[in-house]
Amino acid sequence: MKIEVLGAGCKKCSDVANQIAAVAEQQGAAIELVKVTDMARILDYQVMSTPAVVVDGVVKSTGVVPSADTIAQWLAEGQ
């Protein structure tokens, strides 16, 4: 499962990436976590507010730090 965190590298973007990594480790889920800071690539997803999370090419969240429960649900859906 490929999870992309889209954003300029702000604190919220780092928080999202860290939260995803922690939940994946807790669940033993194998993920590829990629931080995307290139604005052109972010706009390819038509995302206007960051941080945003893309799971296997599908935008799952924009403009918020998702909860651990939400992230766990995404991971469960991908397995």
**Band (79; pLDDT cuts 50, 70, 90):** low
Q: Residue 29 phi/psi, 5° resolution?
A: -85, 135
Per-residue model confidence as pLDDT tens digits over 22-54: 999 999 999 999 999 999 999 999 998 999 999
DSSP 79: -
**Can you name the residues that pair with 35 across neighbouring β-strands?**
5
Max Cα–Cα distance, the chain, nearest Å: 33
Q: What is the CATH number of domain 2-78?
A: 3.40.30.10
Helix (H, G, I), strand (E, B) or coil at 61: strand
Q: To which H or E segment does residue 41 belong?
A: helix 39-44
Helix pair angle (11-27, 68-78), 10° resolution: 50
Q: What is this structure's pTM? A: 0.93
Positions marked active-site = 10, 13
pLDDT tens column, 8-27: 888 999 999 999 999 999 99
Domain boundaries, the chain: 2-78
